[in-house]
Amino acid sequence: MPRSPLALAALASVAVPGLDVYDVLRSPHTDADFDVVVVKDATGTRWIVRAPKRAAAGAALEAERSLLAALARAHDTGLLPFDVPRPRGAAAMSDPDGGRAVVYSEVSGAPLTLATMDPGPGLAAALGTALAAIHELPPTLIEDEGLPTYTADEYRERRMAELDAAIDTGKVPPRLADRWENQLENVAWWRFEPTVVHGDLGEHQIHVRGEAITGVSDWMDARVADPADDLAWLAASAPDDVLESVLEAYRLARRETRDPHLIDRARLASELALVRWLMYGVRTDNADVIADGEGMLSDLEALLFAPDDED
């Protein structure tokens, strides 16, 4: 059963001594793994309270808490041009699964709205520079926190194993399965230098003010892996001219040799996100999620394979 906003506000008061909660708002980002609220103190400062619903989510929350401290230091020393949520305290919960709710200071700015982004040297360029800054972070920052680290070959094999498991369910359209298997077997696509990646980027995770990126939140999927993963949402949704502006700034800010198949893998990652959603439903035996995943795969198949498409 979801925890009430008032219960989470009470946990915030325990986690941060002296925090005087004045108002409580349900966050729009509450999901299957976490209850989330925004609380305001008497000065108007906003705080984020996140409480895990499952033991596995609690472990991910604790790992992110340590990583955020390291990322905050990276910002303070100039390695990151944007801020991150800063953990300010934690409070044990009385649930049977245990775990702790974590309280963060809120990152300034509003969530990015891709539909209003213009191409050129403004926000699109700032986004490209911010993405490059993530990918230029030293991999030891992730490794020291015990978070996943992959070579390019290991990551390709991981993707292939995920696809094989989905195919075994019989719920992946055969033409999509063939398309993805061919792309995963094209080794030329997978000669990339692994980098630090956020792992779950989208509009809600990127905070902006004017034409500046002020912060990036939700780092629980951070790892050393394929930088294309952080571009998947843009490859799927951004207009071509906006995407090109982001990529131009990104490439200028990266020190690594240009990756000729970066966007190819980003588009693949955006498509495979539907498979991961389907498999989340399978693992949790959630019929609604399974049906949603199957519907999205069917829509994608219709989009990619028009009646006159001979590929």
Helix axis angle for 174-185 and 152-168, nearest 10°, is 160
Domain residue ranges in the chain: 5-105, 111-304
**In this structure, are residues 108 and 90 in contact, taking their beta carbons and an 8 Å threshold?**
no
What count of other Cβ atoms lies within 10 Å of the Cβ of residue 66?
14
CA distance 100 to 104: 13
pLDDT given for residue 98 in this prediction: 61
pLDDT (tens place) for every residue of the chain, 311 residues total: 567 888 888 888 888 888 888 888 766 565 667 888 888 988 888 899 988 888 878 888 888 888 999 999 999 999 999 999 999 999 888 766 668 889 998 888 999 999 899 999 999 999 999 999 999 999 999 999 889 999 999 999 999 999 999 999 999 999 999 999 999 999 999 999 999 999 999 999 999 999 999 999 999 899 999 999 999 999 999 999 999 999 999 999 998 778 999 999 999 999 999 999 999 999 989 999 999 999 999 999 999 987 755 54
Name the residue among 82, 111, 81, 127 with its Cα closest to residue 242. 127
Provide the strand spans (E) within the chain. 21-26, 34-41, 46-52, 86-92, 100-105, 110-111, 195-197, 206-209, 212-216, 223-225
Token readout for 37 is: 């609220």
- On whether the CB atoms of residues 177 and 163 are closer than 8 A, the answer is yes
Helix (H, G, I), strand (E, B) or coil at 2: coil
**Nearest in space to 83 (alpha carbons), one of 209, 237, 178:** 209
CA distance 102 to 89: 6
Q: What angle do CA 140, 144, 145 make, to 5 degrees?
A: 125
- Predicted pLDDT at 18: 84
> φ, ψ for residue 256 (rounded to 5)?
-75, 160
Residues 82 and 131 sit within 8 Å (Cβ to Cβ): no
Cα–Cα dist 65/106, whole Å: 14
Beta bridge partners of 142: none
The CATH number of the structural domain formed by 5-105 is: 3.30.200.20
Q: Which of 131, 160, 162, 158 is nearest to 248 (CA)?
A: 131
Angstrom distance (rounded) from CA 200 to CA 185: 24
d(CA 67, CA 196): 12
Q: Return the pLDDT at 23.
A: 87
- Residue 154 CA from chain centroid, whole number: 20
DSSP per-residue codes, 160-197: HHHHHHHHHTT-S-HHHHHHHHHHHH-GGGG----EEE
pLDDT of residue 34: 83
Distance CA(241)–CA(82), nearest Å, equals 24
The domain covering 111-304 belongs, at the CATH homologous superfamily level, to: Aminoglycoside phosphotransferase (APH), C-terminal lobe (3.90.1200.10)
At position 102, the amino acid (one-letter code) is V
Predicted confidence at residue 62, as pLDDT, reads 86
Tell me how far apart the 2 most distant CA atoms of the chain are, in Å.
66
Predicted confidence at residue 311, as pLDDT, reads 47
SS (H, E, C) 27-62: CCCCCCCEEEEEEEECCCCEEEEEEECCHHHHHHHH
